Amino acid sequence: MDRRSTLYNAPAVVDGSSMTLRFLGSGGAFSRQYGTTCSLVTFPGGERWLIDCGRQAPDQLWDAGLDWHEIDGQIVTHVHGDHIFGLEDFAFQRYYQASGEVSAIMCGGPRPRFLAHSAVRDEVWESLAASLRYLKVGDNPRAGTFDSYFEMIEPHAWEQPGQNPWRHSETFTLNGHQIVARESEHVPGKPSCSLEIEVGQGDRIAWWSGDCTVDAGFLAAIEPRTTIYFHDCTFTDYPGQVHGAFSLLEKLPKSVRDKMVLMHHEDDIEDHRAQVEALGFRVGLPDQVYDLVTGRRVD
């Protein structure tokens, strides 16, 4: 049986001009019920990209009726296991295996593309290199590089470093859409980015937090041009918070809350649903699909 036609193609794509985001996993770092974070963005031309690729991503993709050979590229916000531990599976499957019409990379097949802030990209390779560098070329058994597995998208613009040594933001062009990876506050001293994804005619963005604390001033400032926000969320308050504390999210202006989907949440999110929805937020769950142009949930 063809899993793709029975599972995936039925609900997810709205029409040829839409740009959608489907949650494959919507849970936080330790979620068992909702899966670690991985989302599928489908561009108007049909290209499929993932935002982050947590440790459960290979199984989430399988459950969605997709395989790695149907994914055109990967965006990464930062290096934590719940965001990148599925990447080795992606790299090796594409390198060594063919599927359908897509050849293995080792036989000349296409490499999936890869987009991340350069400071994040360096850390992704640092994490993957211990396994992926073992490609033998001539006498060198460790000739594998990041480029052996993925085609890197380079930024065409950037902002100078702010608080940290790396650039404050980098801007990329993907399928004619600008994507800004902007330094955000997650774990102090660690490269981590939020994403501004250009949607529609180019005057609007869909915003994706990655993992970060609540920057209320910034979120309010971008509201007029933002169709939808996806913010990581926690109800566990503690000193040195590195996530979107709900105690701060609930104080955001209503105009922002009404456009915000809470994701990367804990397994007790249903206990908070009534409170969350009364304030205008939506709760992101696996298999939900959002139209990034209108900001509406479509499935």
Q: Would you count residue 183 as binding Zn ion (CB under 5 A)?
A: no
Taking the complex as a whole, the smallest distance from the CB of residue 264 to Zn ion amounts, in Å, to 6
Taking the complex as a whole, the smallest distance from the CB of residue 230 to Zn ion amounts, in Å, to 13
User: What 3-state class would DSSP assign to 199?
Assistant: strand
Nearest in space to 220 (alpha carbons), one of 249, 194, 246: 249
Part of the chain binding Zn ion (CB under 5 A), chosen from 23-31, 42-50, 97-105, 281-289: 23-31
Q: Would you count residue 41 as binding Zn ion (CB under 5 A)?
A: no
Nearest in space to 94 (alpha carbons), one of 151, 140, 134, 165: 151
CA–CA separation, 33 and 96 (whole Å): 32
Which residues on neighbouring strands pair with residue 21, listed in sequence order? Answer: 41, 290
Task: Count CB atoms within 10 A of the CB of residue 145.
Answer: 13
Nearest in space to 170 (alpha carbons), one of 152, 147, 148: 152
Q: Would you count residue 211 as binding Zn ion (CB under 5 A)?
A: yes
Q: Would you count residue 80 as binding Zn ion (CB under 5 A)?
A: yes
Q: Which is nearer to Zn ion, 82 or 198 (CB)?
A: 82
Q: What is the DSSP string of 111-162?
A: PPEEE--HHHHHHHHHHHHHHHT---BTTBTT---HHHH-EEPPPSEEEEES
Which residue of 29, 64, 197, 283 would you call a contact of Zn ion, by CB under 5 A?
29
Part of the chain binding Zn ion (CB under 5 A), chosen from 44-52, 77-85, 92-100, 233-241: 77-85
Q: Which is nearer to Zn ion, 94 or 186 (CB)?
A: 186
Part of the chain binding Zn ion (CB under 5 A), chosen from 17-25, 79-87, 143-151, 215-223: 79-87
Q: Would you count residue 170 as binding Zn ion (CB under 5 A)?
A: no
Query: Residues touching Zn ion: how many (CB under 5 A)?
Result: 4
Cα torsion at 287, 293, 171, 75 (round to 10°)?
10
Q: Would you count residue 243 as binding Zn ion (CB under 5 A)?
A: no
Q: Provide the binding-site residues for Zn ion, judged by CB under 5 A.
A: 29, 80, 82, 211
